[in-house]
Amino acid sequence: CLLRSVLAALLFAAPALAAESPPVRSDRAVVTLVADAAAVAPGVPFHIGLRQRLAPGWHTYWENPGDAGAPTEITLQLPDGAQAGPIEWPAPHRLPYGPLVNFGYETEVLLPLAVTPPATLAPGSSFTIRAEANWLVCERVCIPEEGVFELTLPVAAEPAPAPDQKPLFAAAQAEQPRASPFAASIGFDGMAGALRLEGPAIAPASVRDAFFFPRAWGVLDHATPQPV
């Protein structure tokens, strides 16, 4: 009975371990490809993500890097009939550097993408994702890095989550931009570049700080102060 219990534990543990690829390591970053599924099902979407764990003082970049830098790029090779969406960028942080302001991430970030397997997948087979990625890590200097990642997940009749990866994807989801519930207008009281948000939930007691991150590069001067 003890042997059967141990074997069962190993079988259930294996898919969770398989939900993260071998790492690409440097002195600046440890990068892996992870999945929120321990097993995928035909036609059922799931998420993968490029996980970047950064050494102290180093950062990578948002889709709009700001005054300098470059965003991470991911190219996927998927089984025939599978589809993938774009990177679902978590909200960035402001990264001041001298007179410049960049937008990106420090410490750790997960860049998720949705993947939909083909409906013709056969339970009992496997689903292999291969990703080529390149990213820029910066401190006082910037260093381009790249890696090739491979993740093979079992195919089952019903999808199974990867418990070890759930907190990572939940944190990335919590940082996703959302549609504003507030009425917005640009320019008022003679201030052509001002952005006004109006709504009963906006008050000094409920808003600690606010900053406008332009998704497209070149929309504004990133380092210009934004008084609230």
Q: Closest by alpha carbon to 91, among 101, 102, 105, 73? A: 105
Find out whether 128 and 118 touch, Cβ atoms under 8 Å.
no
Per-residue pLDDT of the chain (228 residues; tens, 9 = 90+): 433 333 333 333 333 345 999 999 999 999 999 999 999 999 999 999 999 999 999 999 999 999 999 999 999 999 999 999 999 999 999 999 889 999 999 999 999 999 999 999 999 999 999 999 999 999 989 999 999 999 999 999 999 999 999 999 999 999 999 888 899 988 888 887 888 899 988 888 888 888 999 999 988 899 998 888
Residue 203: predicted pLDDT:
85
What's the CA dihedral at 157, 158, 162, 167 to 10 degrees?
160
Both tokens of 24, joined, read 């690409």
Residue 39: predicted pLDDT:
97
Give the 3-state DSSP-derived string for the chain, with helices as H, strands as E and coil as C: CHHHHHHHHHHHHHHHHHCECCCEECCCEEEEEEECEEEECCCCCEEEEEEEEECCCCEEEEEEEECCCCCCEEEEECCCCCEECCCCCCCCEEEEECCEEEEEEECEEEEEEEEECCCCCCCCCEEEEEEEEEEEEECCCEEEEEEEEEEEEEECCCCEECHHHHHHHHHHHHCCCCCCCCEEEEEECCEEEEEEEECCCCCCCCCCCCCCCCCCCCCCCCCCCCCC
Angstrom distance (rounded) from CA 67 to CA 102: 5
Both tokens of 56, joined, read 């102290």
Q: What is the CA radius of gyration of the chain?
A: 21
Residue 93: predicted pLDDT:
94
Residue 18: predicted pLDDT:
56
